[in-house]
Chains A and B, each alone.
Chain A
Amino acid sequence: MSSDDNVKRSADAAVSGGPLAGGHHGDVLALPELESFRDPETKGAKAHYDDADIYRDEKGFNDHTLRPMFFTTKKYFAFTLVLGAIMAQGFVAFLNQTYWGLGMAGLHEPVYWGAYIATFVFWVGLSHSGTIVSSILRLTGANWRRPILRAAEAMTAFSLLVAALFPLIHVGRLWRAYYMVPLPSQRMLWPNFKSPLMWDFCAINVYLTGSMTFLYIGLLPDLAVARDRAIAMGNWRRHYLKVLALGWRGSHREWSVYNKCSLFLAVIILLIAPSVHTIVSWDFAMTMTPGWHTTIFGPYFVVGAIYSGVSAVVTLMIVLRVLFNLGDVIRKFHIDALGKLLLVISIIWSYFYFCEFITTWYSHKPEEWEIFEWQAHRFPYHLWVMLGGSCLTIFCLSWRRFRACMPCMFALTLLVNCGMYIERYMIVVPILSRRDNPFMWTDYYPSLTELSIIVASFAYFIFLYAIFIKLFPIVTMADVKEGVVVSGDVRLGKHAVRVQVKE
């Protein structure tokens, strides 16, 4: 990059308009008028991409999608302050626990894993939203995916970041946790690669690296747009954006490498993601604890993860839509499509529930049935939310009108994730409190320390997201534009011919 001016001149279009650029330099696409915008929600017509008049004006589109990044309200600061406070109290609770010992948590023998691990699994599950959805959709070429990719991928990265904290919070001697890392040592002591926890450690690290890379690579063209915008505005963001954008200029070669890379990463991530959650499930399934030791756990966890992940994406979309006025980018159509996806997954998920319960009920192995009875006895309301929520999801999502109703979708997807959190809790806690040795049966209540830390983890996730929105473009601009089908009448001699432009 020779100078700011230079960059400024090449500006948005050259950089971001990859597919559309085609030699056009300037803010307005040199295309005929677009067909008038038909709103599917109001007119009941089938949604098309080619009718979004916001895409007509690329500069306008960039302005619109970058607004959340560059314009910050006081409310935002107040909000992050609140988040900061919640995080701070969680951090204090964590320090307290580290200083005095894990006794500050409500754990005891034999419930050695409690809310921390349940929350860990929850966050790992949530992380399956983004990358897996985005890579599936990328590979299958589903066009409607485009605006949601970034938000979903960011969610993966952040929920993984949050999830990765929990094993650290959970171990007894944090200051010795580096023993997990295969560092060469004088005594030739290596980590035990036979331990599922070790696999888990590796899997999470791989997934974190992978999803971060995926997020970053996908971000590159948009970073360049944002960089140019920031430089143009003289905004302080230009400093890091200049570095992170890696000098992206939107050349053909860059685009072709970029596209290949995205495809390649999508395939890799698609392989990693299910393996990660399978390995997380093996933390449980590989033990000989009744209730955990079952072959169904791998796919069960993966599907559960996608279920909760997709729900979280929907929740997040609706939140972004409302908060940043992105209703015209993230449209009801997208929510509708995601709703359909969710419907399929929830059916699969319910099928897994069915499989789990029916096999246990039929065989009626005492030690396993004991756990189910205890769950029903001790956590009846939890079970209602968990199982009822799942049935309700299938029922509701079958209705187009429901899928079109944003508050309904918001509530439903939240409910799904509540159910999924409970599901994780029900896997960890009741099974441990009704273990093989009946003398040691116990009950478990999370302590205040645990609750503070868990609440803080949610705050931390939202905080990371809030910060991300302010530092990076939240809407996948390049991808959206790539998908835009521009149509219009092109005059050819005397005739006006209707054409569609799409790369």
Chain B
Amino acid sequence: MRILKGSIKVKSFNYKEDNDYSWSMIIDLDRCNGCGACVIGCQAENNVATVGEEEVGKKRNMHWLRIERYIEGEYPHVKVRFLPMMCQHCAQAPCESVCPVYATYHNPEGLNVQVYNRCIGTRFCGNNCPYSVRYFNWFDSSFPEPVNNQLNPDVSVRERGVMEKCSMCMQRIRRGKDTAKDEGREVVDGDIQPACAQTCPTGAITFGNINDHESKVYKMAHSGRAISLFEEKGTHPAVKYLKGGTNDVIG
């Protein structure tokens, strides 16, 4: 009976009970203007490699964060939508269970973490990710002298044959927590900003601790506009989107 009980214990999706922090990101689709500042911000922060023209042609660009663009309707009733897409940090992550070597796992703060030096590159996680937000290092990334001077020392440069993806700027979370600890306090809302949220000119991206009921993300996640992508798949993402307003059409 003990065994049975143990196995049917339901995991809490946002780790409310067990941990102080449960990181979450809210993206307001009504604000996103597709400018791509976040893409470059992420690239600069996380040592994301540029792969060059030829590889891009094979669809091997590595941007951890991409802005998906969808078109609806026919001229002149055309609507273009932007959808920033990065690792959704699912509480029930499909990628985690299938990795044979635990290279990807869920950390206690609700983030889906990729351990580069554990990864052997079976790419099973990529196949099981409905959002297609995991990127594989097809070749060794090239940061030739003197471009390598820009590399962020907090983030490792990935070897060929390794999966990588958005880490919610783990190093920034770490730095934020360290600073808070040094100052003898809890992390306050807004202390920690991933590169994309930091740089988004329209303020479409908000990051915070959803366990803190006073935080912006908590309020936004309960605003009624909040949706998860592919909710029907039951992945319980930590990234939530705020639906855009209704749009007029002419005619």
A interface with B by C-beta (< 8 Å): 100-103, 106-110, 112-113, 167, 170-174, 176-177, 179-180, 189-192, 194-198, 201, 283, 286-289, 432, 435-440, 442
Contacts and interface: CB of A to CB of B under 8 A. Distances in A.
B126 A170 contact: no
Given A172-B121, A195-B97, A437-B131, A189 B68 contact: no
Nearest to B124: A197
Contacts of A287: 94, 98, 124, 127-128
5 contacts: A107-B136, A108-B60, A109-B126, A113-B127, A171-B120
Nearest to A447: B58
Nearest to A199: B100
B159 interface: yes
A437 to B, nearest CB: 5
A501 B137 CA distance: 68
Contacts of B70: 438-439
A189 B233 CA distance: 30
A102 B136 contact: yes
A223 B66 CA distance: 63
Contacts of A180: 100-101, 120
Contacts of A442: 59
Contacts of A189: 101-102, 118
Question: Which 8 pairs between the two chains have the least Cβ-Cβ distance?
Answer: A172-B121, A172-B161, A103-B138, A112-B123, A101-B160, A101-B139, A173-B161, A440-B132
User: What secondary structure prevails in chain A residues at the interface with B?
Assistant: loop
Interface string B80-111: 00010100000000100111111000000000
B100 A192 contact: yes
B122 interface: yes
B120 A435 contact: no
A112 B135 CA distance: 10
Contacts of B162: 172-173
Contacts of A109: 59-60, 126, 132, 134-136
A112 B165 CA distance: 15
Nearest to A435: B132
Given A288-B94, A437-B130, A171 B58 contact: no
Given A112-B136, A113-B127, A201-B100, A288 B59 contact: no
A179 B121 CA distance: 11
B64 to A, nearest CB: 12
Nearest to B102: A192
Contacts of A106: 58
A174 B122 CA distance: 10
Contact of A173 (B98, B99, B159): B159
B136 A195 contact: no
Nearest to A195: B100
Given A103-B55, A108-B138, A179-B100, 15 more contacts: A100-B139, A101-B139, A109-B134, A112-B123, A171-B120, A172-B136, A173-B159, A173-B162, A179-B120, A191-B102, A289-B127, A436-B132, A436-B233, A437-B85, A439-B70
A100 to B, nearest CB: 6
Contact of B98 (A103, A197, A432): A197
Contacts of B119: 172-173, 176
B140 interface: yes
Contacts of A435: 130, 132
B140 A173 contact: no
B92 to A, nearest CB: 10
B139 A103 contact: yes
Given A173-B121, A289-B128, A436-B132, A108 B102 contact: no
Contacts of A436: 130-132, 230, 233
Contacts of A201: 100
B230 to A, nearest CB: 6
A450 to B, nearest CB: 13
A432 B99 CA distance: 18
A195 B120 CA distance: 14
B31 to A, nearest CB: 20
A112 B127 contact: yes
B127 A176 contact: no
A107 B138 contact: yes
B90 to A, nearest CB: 11
B30 to A, nearest CB: 20
Contacts of A438: 70
A172 B138 CA distance: 8
A201 B128 CA distance: 18
A94 to B, nearest CB: 14
A14 to B, nearest CB: 51
Given A102-B161, A436-B132, A439-B68, A170 B101 contact: no
Nearest to A287: B128
Nearest to B57: A108
A179 B59 contact: no
B53 to A, nearest CB: 14
A171 B131 contact: no
A68 B10 CA distance: 64
A431 B127 CA distance: 10
A119 to B, nearest CB: 16
Contacts of A174: 161
B57 to A, nearest CB: 10
Given A100-B139, A102-B121, A171-B122, A195 B85 contact: no
B98 A101 contact: no
B176 to A, nearest CB: 27
B163 to A, nearest CB: 8
Nearest to B160: A101
A286 B126 CA distance: 14
Contacts of A190: 102
Nearest to B130: A436
A172 B122 CA distance: 6
B32 to A, nearest CB: 15
A101 B132 contact: no
A110 B134 CA distance: 8
A59 B101 CA distance: 56
Contacts of A171: 120-122, 161
A483 B59 CA distance: 60
A177 B55 CA distance: 26
Listed residue (B66, B126, B132, B137) with the most chain A CB atoms within 10 angstroms of its CB: B132
A438 B140 CA distance: 28
B237 to A, nearest CB: 13
B59 A108 contact: yes
Contacts of A100: 139, 160
Nearest to B163: A172
B101 A288 contact: no
Contacts of B230: 436
B97 A439 contact: no
B126 A101 contact: no
Given A112-B136, A172-B160, A439-B70, A191 B101 contact: yes
